[in-house]
Amino acid sequence: MIDSLGAPQSVLVLGATSDIAGATLARLTRTGRLERVVLAGRPGPARDAAVERVAATGVPRVEALDFDARDRASAPAVVAAAFDADGDIDVVLLSWGVLPDEAAMRQDPSAAADLVDVNYASMVTALLAAVEHLREQGHGVVVVLSSASAVRGRSSTALYGSTKAGVDSLASALGDALHGTGVSVVVVRPGFVRTRMTAGRRPAPLAVDASDVADAIALSLTGGSRTVWVPRAMRYVMAGLVVTPRAVFRRLPI
Ligand SMILES: NC(=O)c1ccc[n+]([C@@H]2O[C@H](COP(=O)([O-])OP(=O)(O)OC[C@H]3O[C@@H](n4cnc5c(N)ncnc54)[C@H](OP(=O)(O)O)[C@@H]3O)[C@@H](O)[C@H]2O)c1
């Protein structure tokens, strides 16, 4: 169970090698309360290293599961496997995705459809499966990595933003439906985060580090807001951008 200070005992991560997931686990292990971490991702040295990093912090049970978001059936199977094993799962962290080259992808509709599978379709199947298992269990939190770009798509990342908009909309609505059940959905909307995903891209204004997202996620587990902006000021920036007329918005250098 998540204690009154927001410290969970067990976490399932889909996106084992994600920098944001790694920072979040590093933050949660600091409580000394974590007993079980399940890391789901594509097998390989990066996932092995992620397992070793968590084990080195003293978490007694660290497990790895194979997960490939290109396969829509993979996420529900992974979630079921984690819940079927011994013990509850307090937090399910959905932290995978790709940020493709927008121009190249617009030339290749079938690659764009693959992006939809990875960033959206598998998020849908993972989210639905996680919510169902948590409801059966009677408690827990799903933390979904959305993006500030979900709120208003920009032409420079239009395809990526559209997948995040779908994820954000579903996760927010499911979270509302779950109110009062003991199960909740936290929707995380970071702006630009300096991680492997954004390496080589020019940092946007209000750029943050993965550790900032981790701190915000950890704070949300204490029961605060179910919509988490990182940094917080991003909420006000996006509120302004949402009502900016398209004729102005399309000229903005963002
Ligand atoms: N960085 C940002 O600026 C930013 C901003 C807002 C939201 N987000 C969101 O935050 C989440 C984590 O991003 P990050 O910044 O931590 O990126 P990251 O370090 O690049 O991690 C991306 C993760 O996605 C996994 N992944 C990619 N394709 C996959 C597939 N087909 N099957 C399974 N896993 C796959 C990668 O696994 P492999 O190691 O196997 O490739 C990796 O674990 C994503 O949902 C992202 O959209 C990021």
Domain ranges in the chain are 10-249
* Statement: residue 85 has pLDDT above 90: no
Ligand 1 site residues, Cβ closer than 6 angstroms: 15-20, 41-42, 46, 67-70, 95-98, 118, 145, 147, 190, 192-193, 195-198
Alpha carbon 211 to chain centroid distance? 14
- pLDDT, position 210: 98
* Statement: residue 122 has pLDDT above 90: yes
> Predicted confidence band at 185 (pLDDT cuts at 50, 70, 90)?
very high
* Statement: residue 146 has pLDDT above 90: yes
The DSSP code sequence of 162-215 is HHHHHHHHHHHHHHHHTTTSSEEEEEEEES-EESGGGTTSPPPTT-EEHHHHHH
> Predicted confidence band at 254 (pLDDT cuts at 50, 70, 90)?
confident
Query: Active-site residue 160, yes or no?
Result: yes
- pLDDT, position 224: 80
Q: Which CATH number is correct for 10-249, 3.40.50.720, 1.10.3720.10, 3.40.50.1100, 3.90.1300.10?
A: 3.40.50.720
- pLDDT, position 253: 84
* Across 64-87, average pLDDT: 95
